[in-house]
């Protein structure tokens, strides 16, 4: 062991080259590692090479959770060979997110970029991420797999499904961001340091920053994620449980995600008033019209009242196009929700599901369609 078995409690063990003390770095690239002997050398060399082509003073911080393989020896060797690297050895509370936080605490740069040690991320983007934060004053820059131009190479189906699920769930809270659980991103160090509510757990530290930090601007840059060629992923079942806990925690936190949940809650409340409008209209109209005609008008009235309240309340600060245009768009999306509701009802009941339960599932899916669809097309946010 490199640290002679000494327990450093909360302070990680430092190894750094005297070279890296000459000039204060402005960019700190943070790489958490656990048993990455096959990848770490190439990762450090590649990043150093790319950043040396720019004029940015940088450091690479390896935050290692006491790897049992040769990771630390390799990093120390690179430090002796004058790579601008700092090695922090953690001995307590192991974890990817915790390690990133240790790295950020000890970083000297004003800009932080986080990436993995397994060459999955396109590190040639790092200078662009840095520029975007430094020169355009963007708070957070995310390397995205899910926007146009991005992608995933060589991932087994299981990993794709897990990632898709995590991305879907996190996008409920951050619909404007395509990859809120990316492991490749840049952020201003001050933003993190001044956010005491951060609870680093699990794998999704970016998601934590998005939910808790007081950011104002975000930019995403596309890249193609390539599965690691060597070594193993450290993703465990407990990592996924950590993510669900984090999702709940962030939903309840009065930060950025809160605004989205407020909209969703308002939209749901309006939906319930719509049911009342529909019922009352139906009862009144059926005295004068045949049942289906009465139902048609009752549905239309509820759509109009839902739209009017949502336009004036849920999305009150957003008014793209004319009122009539938004109203017609809302109508079109609502017809889709109605079709979804009816199709789900028909399918589930043929499989023997009790029609009330089937209708409830239909209503929920219709609601999700209505909310997401109207948010995108009617109010365009």
Point out which residues bind Mn ion (CB under 5 A): 118, 120, 228
Distance CA 306, CA 108 (A): 52
CA angle centred on 108, ends 20 and 118, rounded to 5°:
75
- Distance linking the first and last C-alpha atoms of the chain: 53
User: Per rule CB under 6 A, is residue 116 in the interface with ligand GDD?
Assistant: yes
The interface partner of residue 3, options being Mn ion, ligand GDD, none and the CB cut-off 5 to 8 Å by kind, is none
User: Per rule CB under 6 A, is residue 242 in the interface with ligand GDD?
Assistant: no
User: Per rule CB under 6 A, is residue 181 in the interface with ligand GDD?
Assistant: yes
Among 111-119, 252-260, 318-326, 331-339, which window interacts with ligand GDD (CB under 6 A)? Answer: 111-119
Q: Which residue has the tokens 């050895």?
A: 89
Distance CA 17, CA 12 (A): 16
**DSSP assignment of 145-174:** SSSTT-EEES--HHHHHHHHHHHHHHHHH-
Distance CA 240, CA 169 (A): 12
**DSSP assignment of 168-196:** HHHHHH-TT-S-TT-S-EEEEHHHHHT-T
- The residues pairing with 381 across neighbouring beta strands, listed in sequence order, are none
- Of 25 and 95, the one with the shorter C-beta distance to Mn ion is 95
Q: Which residue has the tokens 């991005």?
A: 150
Distance CA 339, CA 202 (A): 39
- CB distance 56 to 22 below 8 Å: no
User: Per rule CB under 6 A, is residue 363 in the interface with ligand GDD?
Assistant: no
- Of 18 and 156, the one with the shorter C-beta distance to ligand GDD is 156
The interface partner of residue 63, options being ligand GDD, Mn ion, none and the CB cut-off 5 to 8 Å by kind, is ligand GDD
Distance CA 199, CA 9 (A): 19
Contacts to ligand GDD from residues 37-96, by CB under 6 A: 63-65, 94-96
Residue 64 CB, nearest distance to ligand GDD (Å)?
6
Residue 167 CB, nearest distance to ligand GDD (Å)?
9
- Of 72 and 374, the one with the shorter C-beta distance to ligand GDD is 72
Residue 162 CB, nearest distance to ligand GDD (Å)?
9
User: Per rule CB under 6 A, is residue 141 in the interface with ligand GDD?
Assistant: no
The interface partner of residue 183, options being ligand GDD, Mn ion, none and the CB cut-off 5 to 8 Å by kind, is ligand GDD
Residue 288 CB, nearest distance to ligand GDD (Å)?
59
Contacts to ligand GDD from residues 270-289, by CB under 6 A: none
The interface partner of residue 155, options being Mn ion, ligand GDD, none and the CB cut-off 5 to 8 Å by kind, is none
Contacting ligand GDD (CB under 6 A), which of 48, 120, 246, 281?
120
For 148-174, b/e burial (b = at least 16 CB within 10 A) is: eebebeebeeeeeebbeebbeebbbbb
- 166 half-sphere exposure, CB direction, 13 A CA radius: 25
Strands 140-144 and 218-222: parallel
- Of 36 and 220, the one with the shorter C-beta distance to ligand GDD is 36
- Of 34 and 315, the one with the shorter C-beta distance to Mn ion is 34
Residue nearest to ligand GDD (CB): 183
The binding site for ligand GDD (CB under 6 A) comprises 32-34, 36, 63-65, 94-96, 99, 116-118, 120, 181-184, 203-204, 225, 228, 233-235
């Amino acid at each position: 062991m490199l640290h002679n078995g000494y327990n450093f409690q909360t302070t990680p063990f430092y190894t750094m080259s005297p070279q890296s003390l000459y000039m204060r770095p402005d960019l700190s690239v943070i790489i958490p590692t656990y048993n990455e002997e096959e990848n770490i050398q190439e990762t450090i060399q590649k990043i150093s090479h790319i950043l040396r082509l720019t004029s940015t003073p940088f450091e690479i911080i390896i935050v290692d959770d006491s790897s049992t393989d040769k990771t630390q020896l390799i990093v120390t060797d690179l430090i002796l060979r004058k790579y601008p690297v700092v090695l922090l050895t953690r001995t307590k509370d192991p974890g990817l997110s915790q390690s990133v936080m240790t790295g950020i605490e000890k970083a000297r740069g004003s800009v932080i970029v986080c990436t993995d040690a397994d060459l999955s991320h396109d590190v040639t983007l790092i200078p662009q991420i840095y520029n975007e934060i430094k020169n355009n004053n963007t708070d957070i820059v995310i390397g995205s797999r899910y926007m146009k131009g991005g992608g995933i190479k060589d991932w087994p189906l299981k990993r794709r499904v897990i990632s898709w699920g995590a991305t879907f769930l996190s996008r409920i809270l951050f619909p404007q961001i395509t990859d809120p659980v990316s492991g490749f991103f840049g952020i201003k160090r001050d933003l993190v340091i001044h956010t005491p509510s951060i609870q680093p757990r699990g794998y999704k530290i970016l998601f934590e920053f998005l939910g808790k930090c007081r950011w104002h601007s975000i930019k995403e840059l596309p890249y193609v994620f390539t599965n690691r060629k060597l070594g193993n992923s450290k993703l465990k079942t407990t990592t996924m449980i950590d993510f669900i806990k984090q999702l709940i925690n962030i939903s309840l936190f009065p930060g950025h995600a809160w605004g989205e949940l407020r909209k969703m809650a308002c939209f749901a409340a309006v939906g319930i008033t719509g049911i009342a409008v529909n019922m009352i209209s139906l009862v009144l109209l059926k005295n004068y019209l045949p049942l289906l005609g009465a139902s048609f008008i009752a549905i239309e009235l509820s759509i109009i009242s839902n739209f009017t309240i949502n336009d004036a309340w849920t999305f009150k600060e957003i008014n793209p196009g004319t009122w009539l245009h938004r109203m017609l768009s809302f109508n079109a999306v609502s017809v889709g929700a109605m079709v979804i509701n009816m199709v789900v009802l028909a399918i589930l009941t043929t499989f023997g599901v009790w029609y009330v339960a089937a209708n409830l599932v239909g209503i929920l899916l219709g609601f999700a369609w209505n909310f997401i669809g109207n948010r995108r097309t009617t109010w365009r946010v």
